[in-house]
Chain A
Amino acid sequence: MLNYIGRRLALGLFTVWAVSVLSFLIIQLPPGDFATTRLAELAASGNTSAIYEAERLRAEYGLDQPVFVQYFTWIGQVLQGDFGMSLDWNRPVADVIGDRLVLTMVVSVAAIIFTWAVALPIGIYSAVRRYSFGDYALTFFGFLGLAIPNFLLALILMYFGFAVFDANVGGLFSAEYETAGWSFAKVWDLFKHLWIPAIVLGLAGTAQLVRIMRANLLDELKKPYVITATAKGLTERKAISKYPVRVALNPFASSIGFLFPQIVSGAIVVSIVLSLPTVGPLLLRALQAQDMFLAGAIVLLIGVMTVIGTLISDLVLMWLDPRIRHGR
C-alpha cells in the first residue's frame, strides 16, 4: 500500500517536472517575446517613442538568453518558492494568481455541484425507468447541454439575463461589492452572478455523467444480487440506492482526477465570454502577451493539480471498490 503510494508520488514528481519543461518551451515557441508584445501594444495606443523599452526589458528579464538558460533560472527560483514577477502585471506572480484562485474554485465547485446534483438523479432515474418518457425527455436535455457550445450558451444566458431579468451581466460581483469586505450581502451578490457560469459549465458535463451512470446502473440492475435483494423484500428505493448505485459510482470517483485541474484553471473560453475574474482568462492573456513567468506558473499549477487529482482518485477508488484494492 505505502509502496504503491510512494511509487505514484515519484511518478507524479517526474510528470510535474516534464510539464514544467514542456510548458516553458511551448510558451517560447511563437515568434517574438514579451518585449515585442509590449511594443505592439504601445504602438496600438499611438505611442511610438519608447525606443529603449524593448531592449531593456530583454536585458532585465533575460529574454535574450537561450531558452534553456531562461528555464533553469526560472525553475531555480520556483524551487525556492519564488514565482517571479509577472511581466504583464508588474506584480509578483503569486499575488496575481492568488487574487483569482479562490473565486475560480468557487465557480468550479459550483459547476461540479450543479453537474452532480443534476446528473446523478437523472442517471438513476433513466436507468430504472429505462425507455420511459421521462428517460427520453431528461436525456434529451442532457444532450442539449452537451451539444450546445459552452460559449454560445453563455452568450444566450447573458443576453436573457440582460434583456429579461435586467440582471447585471458578466463578472462575479456588482461594482459596489467588488472591493467590499466579505458580508452576507456580498455572498448573496456573488450567488446572483454565480448561477450563469454554474449552469453553463455544469451542463456541459451533465450528459456525459448521466450516460455513464445510466449505463453502469443498467449493468448492475440485471445482476443476481439486485434480484436477491428485491426478492428478500427490500423496497425498490433501498435495494437500488444501497447496492447497485454504490457500484455505479466508480466512474464519478475516477473523474475526480480530471476535476482537480479544472478547479484551478476554470473553463477558459466561458470565463472570457462571461468576463469572470478567474484564472482561465489570466492564462490566455499571459500566453498572448508571452508573459512566460505567469503562464508557466499557471500551467505548472494545473499540472500539479492533475497529478494530485489522479493520486486522490486512485486512493478513493481503492477505498470505494474492494476489487481494485485486492487486485493490487
Chain B
Amino acid sequence: MRRRGLSRREFLGGVVVLGGGGLVLGGCSSPVAPPESGPGGGGGRGGGPRAGLPDIEGAEVVLDPARFPKAFREAPELAKLVAEGKLPPVDQRVGSDPLVLKPVHGVGRYGGQIRRGFIGQSDFQNAVRFCSGPDSLLYWDYRFEKLVPNIARGFELSEDGRVLTLQLRKGMKWSDGQPLTADDIVFWFTSVASSREVGTGSSSMKIGGQDVKVERVDEFTVRYVSPAPNPLLPQRMAGSSDIAGMAGNAHLGGGGFMPKHYLSQFHPEYTSMDAANKLAADAGFKGWAAYFRNQASWHRNPALPVVTPWVLTRPISNPPWEFGPNPYSIWVDHEGNQLPYISKITMGNIENTEVLGLRAAAGDYDVQDRGLGVTNLPVLLENEKKSAYTIHRAPSTELDCGLRLNLAYEQDKELGELIRTVEFRRALSLGIDRGQVNEAFFLGTCTPSATMVAEGSIYDPGPEWHTKWATYDVAQANTLLDGLGLTAKDAEGYRLRKDGAGRIRLDFQAFSNFADFVGVGEMVKRQWQQIGIDLNVASVEGSLLTQRANSNQLMLSCQQVGSDDPFLRPEAFLPTVTTGFPGMIGIPYAQWFASGGAQGKEPPESLRLKEAMALYDKGQMEPDEAERIRIGKEIYKLHADQVWSIGLVGFGLSANGVYLTSNKLRNVPARVVNSQTMKSLNNTYPMTYYYE
C-alpha cells in the first residue's frame, strides 16, 4: 500500500528531484563532503554540509545588547487580557533580560495553530522535542558548535573548570507570574535531586564520584562548585542529560531547577509528611513522592508553573494533548515581539504509526516528525504537492544502526571468551556487508561506518578510522577466525566449538522501533554464514530486553547507537551505565567502574576497557578543550580498533530524520542538525514559526 505507483528506483530518483539533490545513496560509495570548520572556530559536531541537502540554518540568539529591542509587543489575545487588567503589560512580563532571537527568515505575525500527532502515553518526548523551547539553562547555537545562554542569561567557567557561575535573567517569571530566582535552582538541588524518592539518581551532578555543590550567590546568581575539574558541566546542562530542562526531566526528578513556590506545597520538607501524604491520597496517589512527580510533570500537570514558550492546556493523559502560549515567555524576536507567534498546538493521539503516516500524507498535520521514518518517505513524497507540505531530511549525527556486544557475557563460557577476544570481534565486523544493510533497511540513506562520530565532528579521528575493521572482507575474517584455531567445521560449513557442543551459534535479541533491527539481525545471520558463524535471531519486546540486560543474559543486540560524543553520551562505547538495555556493553563492568571496584566484575586487562575508562575519566576532567578533544579522538580510535561494538550504518534519517512542515508555515529552516543532544526539532525554533 505504501509504495503504490512508485517503484523504489523512482523514489530514489524522487529524492534527488524533489529535494533539489539527494543524500549520497550508494552503499559503500565514498563519503560525502569535506568537513566544515565552522565560524565558531571550535569546529562542527556533525552538522556540516551534506551533498544534495541544503545548508544548516536556524534562528540566531542575539547576544549583543546594542541589538536588543527597546519596546515589546504581544499576541492580540494577551493584549486583550492586559486591557482587561488580568495580565501585567508585556515589558514587565518578559523582564529586563529577555532572550532575543533573530528568526531565520523574518519577523512573523501572531495567530494560528499547529496540528500534530503523538503515539500514546510513552511518547511524551514528542512535545519535549518540539515545543519546550528547550527549557534548559543553557543551549547550543543552531550550528551545534558553541554554547549559548538560554533560560540562564550567561555562564562563566573558572579556568580550572571547578567553579561554574550561572547568571539568571532579571525580572524573569514563571508562567504563573512568580519570579524565577536562584532559590528555584537550590530548591531543586537540595530537596529534589538528592532525594531517592523524587530525584533521578544520575551522575550528572557528580564528578569523579563526588557531588557537585550548588550555592546561591545572590537572587540571580548561582555557583556550582565541583570537587574536581568539571569542564563539561555546562554542556550537560545544555544537552540531553537529566539536568537539561524541566520539560523532559522534572517528572523523573531532573531538570536543573523547579518552581519552589508551587512544588514545595507537595514536599514534606516544606509542609509535613502527614500533610504531603494527605494531599497525595486526596488526589488518588500512593504517597507524596508519586504525587510530587506527577505535579512536576510538564506533560501532565497544566497547573505546573513552567518557563517553556508554550504551556500545557490539556494533559497528555486526556487527549488531544494541547498547548497555549506562555504569557510570561522570555523569548522575543529582534523587533521586540514576544514569541511564540503560533498560539496553539494540538496533538491527536494516534494508536498506530500506519494511521499516522496516512494522516501525514493527507496533510492533516502542520508539523510532524515523531512516528515518521525512512519507510514513510515514498508515500510522503508522492503526496507532497497534493497535500501542500514539505518533506525535510535531517541526517543524524549518530549511528542509525549498530550491533551491540555484551563484553561481560558469562552464560556460555566458551562464547563469552570468544566475545572477549579482539580477533573474534574484528572477524564478526569484517563479515558484514554494510552496503546491503543500508540498501535493504535504510533505502540507502545511511553511510556504512564503524561505531564513530560523523565526518567533520571535532572528535573525528580521521577517515581511516571510519572503516577500521568495518569493511566487507570475508577472506580476512576467515583468516582471523582460523588463526583462533576455530578450523573444524560441520557439514554445512559452520565452525565448531572447541568443547564439542556443536557449532558456534551466537545469540541475537532485539526489538524493532526506529528501524527493523530484527530484520538486520536476520540479514547478518545470512552474511555470517560465509565466515562459518551461526546466529540465533529473536525478536524480543523492549521490557523483556531490559530485564535480560539487567540479569546479564543478553549476548548480541542491534539498536540505534548514540555515538556523537564520548563524554556526554558514553554508554555505547564504554561501560558507564549500570542498568537496562543502554548498559548492555557490560553491566557487571559498569558496576565495577561505578563503585570503584567494590561491586560488579573487574574487566580483564586483555579487553583494554580500563585504558579507555581511564581516558574517559581524564577527558571529563580536562579543562583544556584541545586536549579534551585529543583524548576524545583516542577513545574513538581505541574503540574502532578493539571493536567493542560493531557499528553498521549511520548518519542517516531513521531517527527523527524525516519530518514534514505545512507549506503555509514560515521561518522553517531548510535543514537543521539532527541530534539527541540538540533535542531536535527544538533547534528549528518553532516559537518563531508563523503563518503567512
Contact = CB atoms under 8 A, between A and B. Distances in A.
A139 to B, nearest CB: 29
Nearest to B120: A285
Interface string B198-221: 011111100000000000000000
A248 B586 CA distance: 68
A43 B543 CA distance: 10
Interface stretch (A123-131, A154-162, A239-247, A311-319): A154-162
A285 B121 contact: yes
B506 to A, nearest CB: 22
Interface residues of B, number: 70
Interface stretch (B30-38, B44-52, B135-143, B312-320): B312-320
A220 interface: no
Given A41-B122, A41-B542, A44-B542, A49 B287 contact: no
B201 A52 contact: yes
Contact of B355 (A44, A53, A60, A169): A169
Given A36-B543, A60-B286, A60-B290, A50 B351 contact: no
Contacts of B284: 82, 84-85, 92
A277 B355 CA distance: 13
A104 to B, nearest CB: 13
B491 interface: no
Contacts of A175: 115, 320, 346, 348, 364
B454 to A, nearest CB: 17
B404 to A, nearest CB: 12
Interface string B348-370: 11111011101101101000000
B154 to A, nearest CB: 26
A226 to B, nearest CB: 50
A206 B431 CA distance: 55
Nearest to B352: A272
B197 interface: yes
B543 A40 contact: yes
A48 B352 contact: no
Interface residues of A, number: 58
A276 B577 CA distance: 39
B351 A271 contact: yes
Interface string B551-565: 000000000001000
B258 to A, nearest CB: 16
A48 B285 CA distance: 26
Interface in B115-163: 115, 120-122, 125
B242 interface: yes
B158 to A, nearest CB: 26
B662 interface: no
A169 B580 contact: no
Given A49-B204, A52-B200, A175-B115, A170 B355 contact: yes
A1 to B, nearest CB: 43
Contacts of B120: 285
Contact of A89 (B121, B248, B253): B121
B241 A51 contact: no
A43 B582 contact: yes
Nearest to B297: A90
A182 B238 CA distance: 45
Interface string B269-293: 0000000000000001111011000
A158 B361 CA distance: 13
B479 interface: no
B196 A52 contact: yes
Contacts of B627: none
B546 interface: yes
A275 B351 contact: yes
A179 B322 contact: yes
Interface of B: 1, 115, 120-122, 125, 196-197, 199-204, 240-242, 248-249, 252-254, 284-287, 289-290, 294, 297, 300, 314, 317-320, 322, 346, 348-352, 354-356, 358-359, 361-362, 364, 513, 541-547, 550, 562, 571, 577-583, 676
Chain A to chain B: the 7 pairs with minimum beta-carbon distance, closest first = A51-B201, A49-B202, A49-B242, A40-B542, A170-B355, A52-B201, A275-B355
28 contacts: A32-B544, A39-B546, A40-B543, A46-B676, A47-B248, A48-B577, A49-B203, A50-B202, A51-B579, A52-B199, A52-B201, A60-B289, A61-B286, A89-B121, A90-B317, A155-B1, A162-B361, A162-B362, A168-B359, A169-B358, A169-B362, A178-B348, A271-B351, A274-B355, A277-B349, A288-B541, A289-B121, A289-B122
